[in-house]
Structure 1
Amino acid sequence: MYKALTEILMEHEDPSQLPLEIWVGDSHEIMRGVHKYLRRLKKLDLVLPPVVIFPGHPLQISSLSDYIMMPTLLNCYRFRIKVVLKLGKKYHWLFKWTRRLIFGQFPKDRKYGYLVLSPQSTVGRKLHAKALKDDEAYDELTQKWRPYWEMCYIEAGSGNFSASIANRLDLVKRASFFAHGKQAKLITGGGIRTKEQVEGLVKAGSDLIVVSSVLEKADHPKELMKQFLQAVKHQ
C-alpha cells in the first residue's frame, strides 16, 4: 500500500491539496514500522497532506507526524485498555519533545471521542465493545460529549466487512448534525469497500472517512485509492 500511496502523491504538483490525510497506526502489534514508514514518506521531499498517528499502543509513536490522535473511549469495557490509554496520554510528551528538538515544533494532539459500534471487529474485540443500535450509539455520543473534543470517530467494524459504517447512514447523519453543532468534525470508518459507500458517507455528513483493510488486501490498491479520492472530490 505504501507504493500505491507514494505514486499517487508524486503524480500531483502539490499533494498537500489532495482530499486526504495519511493516518499511520496498527492495532495488531506494538511498533510494526510506524516510524520507519513515516521516515520513508518524509524522504519523498514533497509537501505532504497531514500525517497523523492513530496509535494502537502507547509506544506506537514517531517524531515525524503532524498530529497524534488522543481518544476518549466511549464504548470500552476492558479495564486494561483504559489503563494503557491513560499511560499513553501520560508519556506521549516524550515523542513530542523529540519532534521539538529535531524540527523546532510540537505535533498537535487531536482530542476526540471514539465510539465502536460492534464487538465483531478488530478494535471491538480488543475493547470488549458492546453492540450498539443507532439510538443507543447516538445517546452514547451525545450524553458523554466533552466540550474539548474537536472530533468524534464512529467505527462500525474495523477489519470486518460484514459490519460496515456505510450501512448506518441514519446514525451518521444524526451524529454529523450534532458534531457540527459543537464545531467538531465527524470521522467514520469500518468495513468500507467501495466508492459508492464513500459517496454515501460524505453525503451523510462525514468529514473524514478512514479506509484501511480493503486497501491492504487489494490487488490494485492504487486504482482503489483513486476511486475513493474521486468519490470525495465529486461530493
Structure 2
Amino acid sequence: MIESKVNKELERKIDLYVNGKLNADETDELWAELIQDEYYLDYMKSVANLKAVIDKKKQAQPSAKIYSLPKVMRYAAAAAVILIAGVIGVMNYNTTENLSVGPIDQIGLDVVRSADGFSETVESEVIREAIKLATDGEVNEAVQLLQNEMETTNDTQLKAELALSLGSIQYNNGQYQESIESFELVITQNKIDVLTLEKGYWFLGNSYFQMDRLEEAEEAFKNAYALNGAYSRVAKTYVDALSTVGR
C-alpha cells in the first residue's frame, strides 16, 4: 500500500528521471536505490509506462489537456503496459550466507534502463510475441519461437537481442544452465551495441551466481563494469562483494 511505504523524495527523483531531468551521477544513485526496493522499482515502471501512454495521446491530440504524472497515476492505475525487452530484476540480499548481495530474483520483461531513460517499444515482432507468451505462462512456446527465429537470421544484433530475451525467459523459469548458454551467445556476437553486450554480461553473471559458480560470475560482472554503462555501478558492487569470498 502506498500509505504504508511513502518516500516522497524517491518519488520525486523517479519523476525527474522519466522526464530526463537527472544527470548521469544522479541517475546512477537513483538506480542504486531502486534495485534494492521492489516496491519503488514497480512504481518507477508504472510511471514510465504511463508517461509513454500520455506522450502518445499528446502527439495524437495536441490540443488535449494532459494531467501531471502524479494525478494521472491516481486515476489511471489500469493503463496499458508497454512490453519492452527487459533487463531489470530485484536484488535478493539474503540468498548467499556470506555475501551482502545475491543473484537477482527475476529479469523484468517490461522495462529497460538506458543512459537517456527508457527505451521505445521492442521493434522485433517476434520478441514482442515471445514476451507476451511468457507473460501468459506459455514459456515453452515463447522459447521455441525465439529459437526458431535465431536459426533463420544472420543479423548479429537481432540474434543477440533474441538470445537476450530467450535467456531472460529461461532465467525466470529457473533454467539457469540454459540461460547461461543464451547469454554466452549474446556476448559472442560481433558488432552489437554496447547496451546489449552489457546486459549480456550482467545477466550471465547472475546466471552463474544462481548456480554458485562464483568465479565465473565475478568475471562476467567485471566485464559488465568495464563497459561503464547503465549497469556499471551495480556490477561494481557485485565485483567487490565476490572478491572478498575465499574460494
TM-score, with structure 1 as normaliser: 0.34
Between 1 and 2, higher relative CO (CA 8 Å, sep ≥ 6) is seen in 1
Larger strand proportion, structure 1 or 2? 1
Which structure's CA Rg is the greater one? 2
Larger helix proportion, structure 1 or 2? 2
TM-score, with structure 2 as normaliser: 0.33
